Amino acid sequence: MHQALLTLGFGLVGAAILSLSALAFTLEYSVTNVANLSHGEILTVGAYCAYLVQQHGGGVILSGLAAAAGGGVLALAVHNGIVDRFVRKGIGALPTFIATLGVSLIIQNALVIIFGASNLGYTVPQGAPRNVGPFLWTDTEIQIMVSAVVITVALYLIIQHTRFGKSLRAVSQNRSLASVSGINAHRVAALTWLLAGLIAGYAGFILAESIGTFSPYSGFNFFLITLTASVAGGLGKAFGTLVGAIIVGIALEFFGGYLSSSYNLAFAFALLAVVILVRPRGLFVGGRRSIFG
Amino acid sequence: MIDYIVTVLTEGSIFAIMALGLNVIWGWSGDFDLAYYGYVALGAYMTLVLSIGPAVDPTTYILGLTLPFPVAVLIAILSSMVLALIIGAIALRHLRGIYFSIVTLGAVYVLYIFAGQFVPLFNGFNGLSGLFDPMGAFFGIDFASYEYFYLGVCVVALIAVLIVLTRLNSSRFGLALRSIREDERAAAAFGRDIYRTKLKAYVLGAGVGGLAGGLFAGYLSAFNTSAWSPVETIILYAAILVGGRGSSRGVVLGVAVMVIGLQEATRYLPEVASHPSFAPALRLIITGVVLVLFIRFRPQGILPERRLRDKDPTGKGDAQVAVEHQIAGPTLDTGTA
CB atoms B113 and A265 under 8 Å: yes
User: What average pLDDT does this structure show over B62-75?
Assistant: 89
Closest partner residue to B292 among A99, A260, A266, by Cβ? A99
Report CA-CA distances (Å) from B19 to A141, B26, B178, B326: 46, 10, 18, 26
Chain A hits for B105, Cβ within 8 Å: 224, 227
Report the candidate in B208, B167, B151 with the shortest Cα–Cα distance to residue B26: B208
* Contact list, B235 vs chain A (CB under 8 Å): none
A33 closest CA partner among A89, A103, A97 = A97
Q: Given an 8 Å threshold on Cβ–Cβ distance, is B296 in contact with A269?
A: no
A158 to chain B nearest CA, in Å? 28
pLDDT at A35 over 80: yes
Q: Check residue B272 and give its pLDDT.
A: 61
Summarised one tens digit per residue, pLDDT across range A173-187 is: 889 899 999 999 999
Which positions in chain A touch B236 (Cβ < 8 Å)? none
Query: Is some CB atom of chain B closer than 8 A to the CB atom of A104?
Result: yes
pLDDT, average across residues B69-96? 93
Interface-testing mutation among A259, A269, A274, A275, with chain B (most B C-beta atoms within 10 A): A269
Residues of B in contact with A105 (CB under 8 A): 231, 234, 284-285, 287-288, 291
Decide if pLDDT at B68 tops 80.
Answer: yes
Residue B63 pLDDT > 80: yes
pLDDT (average), residues A226-241: 87
pLDDT of residue A260: 60
| pLDDT at residue A120 tops 70 | yes
pLDDT attached to residue B337 = 38
Reduce the secondary structure of chain B to three states and give it as a string: CHHHHHHHHHHHHHHHHHHHHHHHHHHHCCCCCCCHHHHHHHHHHHHHHHHCCCCCCCCCECCCCCCCHHHHHHHHHHHHHHHHHHHHHHHHHHCCHHHHHHHHHHHHHHHHHHHHHCHHHHCHHHCEECCCCCCCCCCCCCCCCHHHHHHHHHHHHHHHHHHHHHHHHCCHHHHHHHHHHHCHHHHHHCCCCHHHHHHHHHHHHHHHHHHHHHHHHHHHCEECCCCCCCCHHHHHHHHHHHHCCCCHHHHHHHHHHHHHHHHHHCCCCCCCCCCCCHHHHHHHHHHHHHHHHHHHHCCCCCCCCCCCCCCCHHHCCHHHHHHHHHCCCCCCCCCCC
Amino acid B134: pLDDT: 82
pLDDT at residue number B335? 43
What distance in Å separates the CA atoms of residue A24 and residue A159, rounded to the nearest whole number?
13
**∠ Cα A161 A164 A170 (to 5°):** 90
| Band of residue B320 on the pLDDT scale cut at 50, 70, 90 | very low
Facing residue for B288 by CB, picked from A35, A103, A112:
A103
In this predicted structure, which of B98-112, B121-135, B170-184 has the lowest mean pLDDT? Answer: B121-135
B239/A121 Cα distance (integer angstroms): 37
- The shortest C-alpha distance from A162 to chain B (Å) reads 30
Residues 255-284 of A with CB under 8 A from B: 260, 262-263, 265-266, 268-270, 272-273, 276-277, 280
Task: Name the H helices within chain A.
Answer: 2-32, 39-55, 60-78, 84-88, 93-115, 139-161, 163-173, 175-180, 185-211, 218-233, 238-258, 264-278
Query: Is the model's pLDDT at A124 over the cut of 90?
Result: no
Q: What percent of chain A shows pLDDT beyond 90?
A: 55
Mean pLDDT to the nearest integer, A40-47: 96
B296/A224 touch (CB, cutoff 8 Å), yes or no? no
The pLDDT tens digits of the residues spanning B235-255 come to: 999 999 999 998 999 999 999
For chain A positions 13-72, those within 8 Å of chain B (CB to CB) are 35
A228 touches B: beta carbon within 8 Å = yes
Mean pLDDT of chain A: 89
A105/B291 CB distance under 8 A:
yes
Residue B334 confidence (pLDDT): 47
Selection from A48-52, A85-89, B122-126, B332-336 with the highest mean pLDDT: A48-52
Residue B222's beta-bridge partner residues? B129
| For testing contact with chain A, the best of B33, B98, B277 (most A CBs within 10 A) | B98
pLDDT band for B311, please (50, 70, 90 cuts). Answer: low
CB contact under 8 A, B99 and A106: no
pLDDT in tens, B248-294: 999 999 999 998 888 888 877 766 656 777 888 888 999 999 999 99
Residue to test with chain B: of A105, A263, A276, A279, most B Cβ within 10 A: A105
The pLDDT value given to residue B142:
81
Name the pLDDT band for B33 (thresholds 50, 70, 90): very high
Spacing of C-alpha B264 from chain mean position: 20
Per residue in B178-229, pLDDT (tens digit) is 899 988 889 988 888 999 999 999 999 999 999 999 999 999 988 888 778 8
* Res A26: pLDDT: 94
Total Cβ atoms within 10 A of residue B87: 25
Contact between A66 and A54 (Cβ < 8 Å): no
Query: Measured between CB atoms, which of A108, A116, A272 is closest to B275?
Result: A116
User: What residues in chain B have their Cβ under 8 A from chain A's Cβ atoms?
Assistant: 32, 90, 94-95, 97-99, 101-103, 105-107, 109-110, 113-114, 117, 231, 234, 237-238, 275, 277-278, 281-282, 284-285, 287-292, 295-296, 299, 332-337
Q: Report the chain B residue with the minimal C-alpha distance to residue A274.
A: B90
Q: Of the ranges A19-23, B15-19, B184-188, which one carries the lowest mean pLDDT score?
A: B184-188
